[in-house]
Structure 1
Amino acid sequence: MQPSNSDSNLGELDVLIVGAGFGGIYTLHLLRQLGRSVKLFEAGSGFGGIWYWNCYPGARVDSNVPLYELSIEELWKDWTWTEKFPGWAELREYFYYVDSKLNLKKDIRFDTRVVSAHYDANTDRWDVKAEDGTVARPRFLVLCTGFAAKKYIPPLTGLETFQGVCHHTSAWPQEGVPLEGKRVAVIGTGATGVQVIQELGPTVGHLTVFQRTPNFALPMVQSKLDRDHQQKRKALYPTIYRRRRQTISGYDFNPYPRDLFSVSREERRLFMEDLWSRGGFHFIVSTYQDILSNEDANREAYNFWKEKARERLHDPDVQETLAPTVPPHPFGAKRVCLEQTYYEVYNQSNVELVSLEKNPIAEITSDAIITGDGVRHEVDVIVLATGFDSVTGGITQIDIRGVDGTTIKDKWANGVYTNLGMMTGNFPNMFFLYGPQAPTAFSNGPTCIEVQGDWIAACIKHMLANHLTRIEPTREAEEEWRNLVMNNSSKALFHKAKSWYMGANIPGKPIEQLNFVGGIALYDSLCQSKAAKGYEGFILSSIDKTSVARVNGV
């Protein structure tokens, strides 16, 4: 949907939103209700954000419905799902259903990738340019780029010489790739890698999995859903949606308020068995409250997980590679994903597991991957499940320049500074959702997005109603928020793992906690408190600078 030459300059807007995933469409819906000019630019050709780009084999969400959807009654009252954990195709259908109800498309420009946004301090507006030449000058810029918008491909020697098919999971062709009977290599065993591997194992000719670090995957316990059951349960939906804002992870359940070793061995065994049988994230979220802070308790949880994983694996060497005796990092300190048949795949004769810790990739040739032991793995297709420059990458890949011309990438080069995980100093009137120093990676997506979207919409409404044209955090507030984020994280075990939670997967990226660990309920409370105090920790002013409100601190 490329714009014609006549409409490539949108001129002055009240708000421009970037990204048409959950965050973008929710914020667009809220801000249009203010009766102001609001537009949305989306790089893809359709709705969904991550669910537009993620169409690789096996892609599906690992948060269950109805938790993983918007809480707007107009949307959920007539919509039904077919699975507890929907796949990418059904999620896309949901987004188009949302559009049919809210008529969002009229204010969205697809195939419009934002490449730069420069702040004009003389007018308190952003000069925004897209790759196709589209320009706009919004008063407020809202970035809904998500935490996984910039793919990462490690430096693999010879990758450019490979003559077969090669795709990163987040750049999978929309028309799909024929893989049946092919020799396929999957590099990476993160969340996307697990999903691809369990999907392809039964259908490809030969599958070679290259694993750097084992994934402590949990059982999804998928199930089909019927319309009648969902309709009967919808009387509870408003309660469920209110409850998810009251919990740590934005689901409708919380950690068990006891320490692991405060109960008998028998009690904790039965409790863990119960959590395991429920599936989803119950085993990591609903478990004892000290699992992520006490190393001994954490090891107990890992040993239980290891036992369960090894029960499903036949080969002792594969057992040790996928579920090692000594864990490489604390359980839950790296992203835990959900699986359905992941471990059974490795029992198949056509599946080979290669430990990159023992034999790293030495070279990729036109038709093979050669490991450090000299073994040549001939392949037709390479699937790069190598992850993302997570949390910050979607923002820093855009040429965003603040008041003094400094880029956001340069500002965060030595560490991230934000206030409330939604704004950063020197970049006035720029908000971001589901990004750095918010609950992002530790929360159910729609919950975090609604908490932040509501706050941003209320803030912009306040600005417009009071004829204020500029808002940005104070440096003091940024420092205090950063300290809160880091101090909360230091009480947990996250720093003992090299994960994308900490930016450790990207060479040269500062090692720091990129997410707010305190939970949705606390986060929501802190955000509302600052708003109630006249946006404490922010500087608000009008364009003539005659009306200025400055409140320091957090």
Structure 2
Amino acid sequence: MTDSWTGEASANRSLDALVVGAGISGIYQLHRLRQLGLDAKGVEAGRDIGGTWYWNRYPGARVDSDAALYQYSVEGLWKGWQFSERFPSREEILQYLHYVDETLKVSQHFCFNTRVVRAQFNNTGNFWEVTTDGGLTIKTRFLVMCIGFASKPYQPHFKGLEAFEGVLCHTARWPENVEMAGKRVGVIGTGASGVQVIEAAAKVVKDLVVFQRTPNLAFPMRQSMQAEVSRSIYPGIFEQRKKTFGGFDMDFIPKPALEGAAARQAVFDELWNKGGLAFWLGAYDDTLSDDTANDYAYAYWRDKVRQRIHRVELVEKLAPTIKMHPFGTKRPALEQHLYEAFNQDNVTLVDLNESPIDEITSTGVRTKDGTEYALDLLVMATGFDMGTGGYKDIEIVGANGAVFRDKWANGVKSYLGMLASGFPNMFMVYGPHAPSGFTNAPTCAELQVDWITNCIEYMMKNSLARIEASKKAELDWTQRIDEIGARGLWNRANSWYRGANVPGKVLEHMFWAGGCPSYQKICEEVVESGYDGIMFIKTP
């Protein structure tokens, strides 16, 4: 990929805007900024576009959104593309993004293999000075962080990890030439990536050992090939996703789960058969806030799953009688044959609640009960330092010398999830304090990118040099995030929604749990009020 612009940008001129990250949000953000006629460029740590789909190349990786929803609503794009599967694979999503690039011509404005290590705001000139790992310095008026909420892999420390002589892989940094066929494979973690790796591995490995702390309340994907559909329906699909809680093609049923056993069973059956995330985001609207409604949903899931588990000793471990946390308060994974995989003779489930990992040895994993599992390949499906991890890796120094990682050391503070007090002219996309964790990337990216682009256009038209959230607006928004989160059952689950998957991390409501429509309405009201909560400074 080209990096010809970097020398010119550094030596001869300053940019109007720099986009960090070439994933779904970064691609769209750079496209929209260049539509304004701005001198906008991008940097990306990987060697190609794709973001999370570039980095997460583990076997079985695919999206949990229906294909029609997991694309941009730009008319010139959806008219010429058709996914082959209902839930596209990583490979096909990358094909789609390269198709997008062929149409929008954005990659030529990105510098790849380039990681931002520092950014410092210049108070006098109202610009950012950005430094990369290659020693490049870039001056830019606006800094737009499109690094998402899952850019920093989390790998827990295990005694002896460095002594393992086999192949060690994190799902988010999977080497391109690693093969699992015929090998003894261990998987630590049963989140979304863990589920997909387990399904892929069980088909081809000699032995598979799954180290589980908490069973995943996974839903049936109901994968299918995509039939050719009329393009005329797409505008309606894109408009509809703005109106649903998660930006999907379903929404909560506006009545309680207490309507009666027969009616409830019929509704549950319909949602279950539909597949995807319907049983989560298309359920009764009190499922995530009322204990009784939540119990009904869990009991149905448990009984359905147990029908597929043939090994008696695994029934309670994979689908416990009593739920381990409120149903739906961790983002569910979609599965195709997860429970059938555990019926295979070559698959072993290790319950870490009964016998935790004691040590990683040179040849495998030893648990507290003294059992050692010999492995050729150890997969760390341990997720990410969600929301804040990627920001903490960059030394971002604001207007008064404050460092961004210090600002967030005791919890996220932002306004609308897009602005932060003390850090002028910096925008954030698809990160914490937004609907990010409850929706999909295209839905949230378009919502936020369009708002940011319109805001920058407003500044240009009104000769405004600087934008910054007020401390009061930031405090009010942070409190609002907490209040919305407290209305549900989220506090009773140790999930990445609250940062609980990383030991020592502050427990907080990290994402807007009020849904996409309410978030968009609030953002629109901010604009209609003359950008209430935001401070501007005129161009000298």
Deviation string 1:486-525 (CA, Å, 9 cap, x unpaired) is 1011010010011110011112211000000110000001
Q: Match for residue 374 of structure 1?
A: 370
Q: What CA RMSD, in Å, does the superposition of the two structures yield over aligned residues?
A: 1.2
* Conserved? CA contact 1:8–1:134, under 8 Å: no
Correspondence 1:412 to 2:414: no
> Which residue identity lines up with residue 55 of structure 1 in the other structure?
R
> Which residue identity lines up with residue 205 of structure 1 in the other structure?
K
Counterpart of 2:169 in 1: which secondary structure? strand
Deviation string 1:50-70 (CA, Å, 9 cap, x unpaired) is 010011000000111110100
> Which residue identity lines up with residue 236 of structure 2 in the other structure?
T
Q: Match for residue 429 of structure 1?
A: 425
Deviation string 1:418-456 (CA, Å, 9 cap, x unpaired) is 111111100001001111110000112211110100000
Counterpart of 1:98 in 2: which secondary structure? helix
Q: 2:442 aligned to 432, 442, 446, which one? A: 446
Matches of 2:23 and 2:498, distance apart in 1 = 24
Q: Match for residue 458 of structure 2?
A: 462
* Conserved? CA contact 1:3–1:134, under 8 Å: no
* Conserved? CA contact 1:2–1:132, under 8 Å: no
> Which residue identity lines up with residue 49 of structure 2 in the other structure?
F
Residue 316 of structure 1: how far off its partner (Å)? 2.0
Matches of 2:451 and 2:395, distance apart in 1 = 26
Correspondence 1:244 to 2:245: no
Residue 412 of structure 1: how far off its partner (Å)? 0.8
Correspondence 1:183 to 2:184: yes
Matches of 2:118 and 2:16, distance apart in 1 = 18
Q: Match for residue 284 of structure 2?
A: 288
Counterpart of 1:268 in 2: which secondary structure? helix
Matches of 2:371 and 2:213, distance apart in 1 = 17
Q: 1:138 aligned to 128, 137, 140, which one? A: 140
Matches of 1:253 and 1:225, distance apart in 2 = 19
Matches within 5 A, 1:530-541: 530-541=526-537
> Which residue identity lines up with residue 473 of structure 2 in the other structure?
A
* Conserved? CA contact 2:49–2:107, under 8 Å: no
> Which residue identity lines up with residue 30 of structure 1 in the other structure?
R
Q: TM-score by structure 1 length?
A: 0.96
Counterpart of 2:430 in 1: which secondary structure? coil
Correspondence 1:199 to 2:205: no
Does the C-alpha gap of structure 1 residues 131 and 2 become closer, same or farther in structure 2, counting only changes over 3 Å?
farther
Correspondence 1:394 to 2:386: no
Matches of 2:280 and 2:196, distance apart in 1 = 19
Percent of residue pairs identical: 46
Matches of 1:315 and 1:253, distance apart in 2 = 35
Q: Match for residue 64 of structure 1?
A: 66
Q: 1:257 aligned to 254, 257, 260, which one? A: 254
Matches of 1:526 and 1:54, distance apart in 2 = 33
* Conserved? CA contact 2:221–2:334, under 8 Å: yes
Q: 2:296 aligned to 295, 300, 304, which one? A: 300
> Which residue identity lines up with residue 104 of structure 1 in the other structure?
V
Q: Match for residue 168 of structure 1?
A: 170
Matches of 1:194 and 1:508, distance apart in 2 = 26
* Conserved? CA contact 1:182–1:206, under 8 Å: yes
Matches of 1:236 and 1:415, distance apart in 2 = 42
Matches of 2:402 and 2:158, distance apart in 1 = 32
Matches of 2:65 and 2:388, distance apart in 1 = 22
Q: 2:126 aligned to 124, 127, 134, which one? A: 124
Q: 2:19 aligned to 1, 10, 17, which one? A: 17
Matches of 1:521 and 1:176, distance apart in 2 = 43
* Conserved? CA contact 1:291–1:297, under 8 Å: yes
Q: Match for residue 338 of structure 2?
A: 342
Correspondence 1:354 to 2:350: yes
Residue 394 of structure 1: how far off its partner (Å)? 1.6
* Conserved? CA contact 2:3–2:112, under 8 Å: no
Matches of 1:87 and 1:135, distance apart in 2 = 37
Deviation string 1:55-108 (CA, Å, 9 cap, x unpaired) is 100000011111010000101101111101010111111111001001112211
> Which residue identity lines up with residue 384 of structure 2 in the other structure?
F
Residue 9 of structure 1: how far off its partner (Å)? 2.0
Matches of 1:269 and 1:134, distance apart in 2 = 61
Q: 2:478 aligned to 460, 475, 482, which one? A: 482
Deviation string 1:256-280 (CA, Å, 9 cap, x unpaired) is 011001x110010011000000000
Correspondence 1:90 to 2:71: no
Residue 7 of structure 1: how far off its partner (Å)? 4.5
Residue 2 of structure 1: how far off its partner (Å)? 7.8
Residue 415 of structure 1: how far off its partner (Å)? 1.4
Matches of 2:331 and 2:313, distance apart in 1 = 24
Residue 222 of structure 1: how far off its partner (Å)? 0.4
Residue 176 of structure 1: how far off its partner (Å)? 3.1
Residue 159 of structure 1: how far off its partner (Å)? 0.5
Deviation string 1:449-479 (CA, Å, 9 cap, x unpaired) is 1010000000011111111111010111011
Correspondence 1:329 to 2:330: no
Specify every segment of 5 or more residues in structure 2 that has no aligned partner in the other structure, as ranges: none
Q: 1:384 aligned to 380, 395, 419, which one? A: 380
* Conserved? CA contact 2:9–2:15, under 8 Å: no
* Conserved? CA contact 2:86–2:223, under 8 Å: yes
Matches of 2:251 and 2:321, distance apart in 1 = 29
Deviation string 1:228-283 (CA, Å, 9 cap, x unpaired) is x22x2x1111011011111111112210011001x110010011000000000100
* Conserved? CA contact 1:367–1:378, under 8 Å: yes
Residue 134 of structure 1: how far off its partner (Å)? 2.1
Counterpart of 1:469 in 2: which secondary structure? strand
Matches of 2:520 and 2:496, distance apart in 1 = 24
Give the aligned length: 538
Q: 2:35 aligned to 33, 36, 45, which one? A: 33
> Which residue identity lines up with residue 241 of structure 1 in the other structure?
F
Matches of 1:419 and 1:49, distance apart in 2 = 24
Matches of 2:539 and 2:504, distance apart in 1 = 39
Counterpart of 2:477 in 1: which secondary structure? helix
Deviation string 1:102-145 (CA, Å, 9 cap, x unpaired) is 11122111111111111111111011011112221110000000
Q: Match for residue 112 of structure 2?
A: 110
Deviation string 1:346-403 (CA, Å, 9 cap, x unpaired) is 0000000001111110001111100010001000000000110001112221111111
Q: Match for residue 223 of structure 2?
A: 222
Residue 3 of structure 1: how far off its partner (Å)? 4.8
Specify every segment of 5 or more residues in structure 1 that has no aligned partner in the other structure, as ranges: 545-554
Q: TM-score by structure 2 length?
A: 0.98
* Conserved? CA contact 1:313–1:346, under 8 Å: yes
Does the C-alpha gap of structure 1 residues 404 and 430 become closer, same or farther in structure 2, counting only changes over 3 Å?
same
Q: 1:363 aligned to 359, 363, 375, which one? A: 359
Q: Match for residue 50 of structure 1?
A: 52
Matches of 1:291 and 1:79, distance apart in 2 = 36
> Which residue identity lines up with residue 222 of structure 1 in the other structure?
Q
